[in-house]
Chain A
Amino acid sequence: MAAAQHGDAGAYERLLTSLLAPLRAFVRRRGVDAGEIEDVVQEILILMHRARHTWRADRPFEPWMWAIARNASTDALRRQGRERARRRVGTELPGERSPEELAGPPEANPEALLTASELTPALTEALSRLPAPQREAMELLYVEQLSVAEAAARAGVSQSALKVRAHRGSRALREALSAEDER
């Protein structure tokens, strides 16, 4: 880590790679959903990167690293809990539709269209009309296919803020595309 603080990219890459397995095991032990483990590990790596100047050579590395891992996985568990609660409330409401039903067929789903190899002219046009923060969120998540953690770091906002932007962007795109279909 000391070498990494001096800018040694090779040492840094070796260090982070060697941490992957213990971090995955740690995140799994903490009870993070299997599908989210890799996302949380990436959040930890990004947080370690952003906080790498807070480690001092006169203090042990492991407590520093585990503190970051604990913090990021606790955030993920909270998020997971909120997500579950939201889903539970959704299924309890009479007439409530599942997210898949709400999204409709893949053709009507802007996220699916954005991840296609080529963007249609209508989608490119609709995307260009979105406010810049929403457009950026959509592009980072669906065109560049970054994880939420990476996209949030790239946009310089919190993960919740990025998700809100993506949600609004998605809704605006859906409206724009359905208006286009009606014409």
Chain B
Amino acid sequence: MSARRSSEELIAGLAERLEPVRPVAPLHRQMLVVAAIWALSAAVVALWLGMHPLGVVERGAVSALLLAVLALIGLGGLTLGLAARIPGRERLALAAAAAAAAGLAAVVALGLALPGSAADAGPRAEWWVCFERSLLLAIPSGVLAVALALRAAPWRERATGLGLGLGAVSLGALLVHLSCPSPSPWHWLLAHALLPLACGVPLGLLAGWLMRRLGSSRHSVV
């Protein structure tokens, strides 16, 4: 279809309806706000369940590696989600996506390399609690990050949603990993990584869909 109204007319129309706008906060400040909320969640978890950061590392390489991988996916996912919505920050978004993807690959590799099977994760009731807590603890930073992304450019909802979903769930799982007393590597892998991350994907896609719906109803311009 050809443009029957000229671009000059469109520009005149856009200028005529121009309203002042407040620029979005810089990316590093958005990240800091999300980090602050995550730290608040961490404080709540520390008071509620207790935290054992040194214990997590002392439990062995698998536990320490999982801690690092969850942090990588969390940081990478959130950076991807927030940077993808800011025009001109594509390289950062790509680097963040690569970091998150490397983290996911590491989780899968860990699962393949770990001796034993998922049956070694212990009774279902035990790992189910950790899985639920991972999702619950993803809510504060996830909701805040989605709200920040919603205020940015109205595009790339799927990548944004995926990044934020995986990132928030991963940071929630990180808190659970820091507070969980279980000695079973399969429990960590299943309840602190595989299951929450698997849920992070549909949750992220849902967030992306919501952003698209909310974004299109908020941005009617001409």
Q: How many residues of B contact A (CB 8 A)?
A: 41
Q: Say whether A156 contacts B16, CB under 8 Å.
A: no
Q: Say whether A68 contacts B26, CB under 8 Å.
A: no
Residues from chain B with Cβ under 8 Å of A146 in the complex: 4-5, 222
* A49 → B minimal CB distance (Å): 5
Most buried by A among B152, B155, B222: B222
- Considering only residues 19-71 of chain A, those with a C-beta below 8 Å from chain B are 20, 35-36, 38-39, 41-42, 45-47, 49-60, 63-68, 71
> Could you say which of A100-108, A147-155, A172-180 contacts chain B?
A147-155
Q: Say whether A145 contacts B88, CB under 8 Å.
A: no
> Could you say which of A10-18, A88-96, A116-124, A125-133 contacts chain B?
A10-18
Q: Tell me if B20 counts as interface (CB < 8 A to partner A).
A: yes
Using known A-B contacts A147-B3, A156-B220, determine if residue A53 contacts B19 with beta carbons closer than 8 Å: no
Q: How many residues of A contact B (CB 8 A)?
A: 52
Q: Say whether B24 contacts A16, CB under 8 Å.
A: no
Residues from chain A with Cβ under 8 Å of B156 in the complex: 71
Q: Say whether B3 contacts A16, CB under 8 Å.
A: no
Using known A-B contacts A64-B88, A147-B1, determine if residue A4 contacts B18 with beta carbons closer than 8 Å: yes
Residues from chain B with Cβ under 8 Å of A141 in the complex: 1
Residues from chain B with Cβ under 8 Å of A12 in the complex: 14-15, 18
Q: Say whether A5 contacts B10, CB under 8 Å.
A: no
Q: Tell me if A9 counts as interface (CB < 8 A to partner B).
A: yes
Q: Say whether A71 contacts B85, CB under 8 Å.
A: no
Using known A-B contacts A38-B3, A54-B23, A67-B90, determine if residue A156 contacts B15 with beta carbons closer than 8 Å: no
Q: Tell me if B8 counts as interface (CB < 8 A to partner A).
A: yes
Give 18 CB contacts A-B under 8 Å. A5-B20, A17-B11, A38-B2, A39-B1, A45-B7, A45-B10, A46-B14, A49-B14, A51-B155, A53-B22, A54-B153, A56-B24, A146-B222, A147-B2, A147-B3, A147-B4, A156-B216, A156-B220
Known: A5-B20, A17-B11, A156-B216. 14 other contacts (CB 8 A): A7-B19, A8-B18, A12-B14, A36-B2, A39-B1, A45-B7, A46-B14, A46-B221, A50-B154, A51-B153, A53-B21, A56-B24, A150-B10, A156-B217
